[in-house]
Chain A
Amino acid sequence: MNSRTIEIAVGLFVACGLAALFMLAMQVSNLASLGGDGDSYTVTAAFENVGGLKVRSPVTVAGVRVGRVDAIDYDTSAYEAVVTLRINSAYDAFPDDTSASIFTAGLLGEQYVALDPGGSMDNLAQDGRIQLTQSALVMEQIIGQFLYSMADKDKE
Chain B
Amino acid sequence: MLDAIQRLGRVTLGFFERLGRGHLFLLQVLVSLPGIVLRPGLVLRQMYSVGVLTLVIIVVSGLFVGMVMGLQGYNTLVDFGAEESLGVLVALSLVRELGPVVTALLFAGRAGSALSAEIGLMKATEQLSGMEMMAVDPIQRVIAPRFLAAFLSMPLLAAIFSAVGVYGGWFIGVGLLGVDDGAFWAQMQDKVDLYDDIYNGVIKSIVFGFVVGWIALFEGSDTLPTAEGVSRATTQTVVHSALVVLGLDFVLTALMFGD
Q: Which residues of A contact B (CB under 8 A)?
A: 3, 6-7, 9-10, 12-14, 16-21, 23-25, 27-31, 33, 54-58, 65, 68, 105-110
Specify which chain B residues have a CB less than 8 angstroms from the CB of A24 in the assembled complex. Answer: 95, 159, 162-163, 166, 198
A56-B186 in contact (CB<8A):
yes
Q: A9-B52, A24-B163, A28-B198 are in contact. Are A65 and B180 (CB under 8 A)?
A: yes
| A-contact 0/1 string along B12-48, CB 8 Å cutoff | 0000000000000000000000000000010011011
Task: Select A29's contact among B52, B80, B159, B192, beta carbons within 8 Å.
Answer: B192
Closest chain-B Cβ to A106's Cβ sits at a distance in Å of 2
| A-contact 0/1 string along B34-74, CB 8 Å cutoff | 00000001001101100110010000000000000000000
Most buried by B among A7, A9, A17, A28: A28
Which residue of chain A lies nearest to B154 when distances are taken between CB atoms in the complex? Answer: A17
Specify which chain B residues have a CB less than 8 angstroms from the CB of A13 in the assembled complex. Answer: 47-48, 51-52, 55, 153, 156
Q: A3-B41, A28-B95, A28-B198 are in contact. Are A17 and B182 (CB under 8 A)?
A: no
Specify which chain A residues have a CB less than 8 angstroms from the CB of B82 in the assembled complex. Answer: 106, 108-109
A30-B189 in contact (CB<8A):
yes
Most buried by B among A7, A20, A65, A106: A20
B189-A20 in contact (CB<8A):
no
A29-B48 in contact (CB<8A):
no
Task: Select A20's contact among B47, B51, B162, B194, beta carbons within 8 Å.
Answer: B162
B: number of interface residues (CB 8 Å): 39
Task: Select A9's contact among B48, B156, B160, B197, beta carbons within 8 Å.
Answer: B48
Specify which chain A residues have a CB less than 8 angstroms from the CB of B194 in the assembled complex. Answer: 25, 29-31
Closest chain-B Cβ to A114's Cβ sits at a distance in Å of 14
B47-A10 in contact (CB<8A):
yes
Interface residues of B in 125-173 (CB under 8 A from A): 153, 155-157, 159-160, 162-164, 166
Task: Select B189's contact among A10, A18, A28, A65, beta carbons within 8 Å.
Answer: A28
Task: Select B44's contact among A10, A12, A27, A58, beta carbons within 8 Å.
Answer: A10
Q: Which residues of B contact A (CB under 8 A)?
A: 41, 44-45, 47-48, 51-52, 55, 80-82, 84, 91, 95, 153, 155-157, 159-160, 162-164, 166, 180, 182-183, 185-190, 192-194, 197-198, 202
Specify which chain A residues have a CB less than 8 angstroms from the CB of B197 in the assembled complex. Answer: 29
A16-B55 in contact (CB<8A):
yes
A108-B189 in contact (CB<8A):
no
Which residue of chain A lies nearest to B180 when distances are taken between CB atoms in the complex? Answer: A58
B84-A109 in contact (CB<8A):
yes
A56 to B189, CA, bound (A): 10
Q: A13-B55, A110-B84 are in contact. Are A27 and B185 (CB under 8 A)?
A: yes
B159-A21 in contact (CB<8A):
yes
Task: Select B84's contact among A10, A28, A65, A105, beta carbons within 8 Å.
Answer: A105
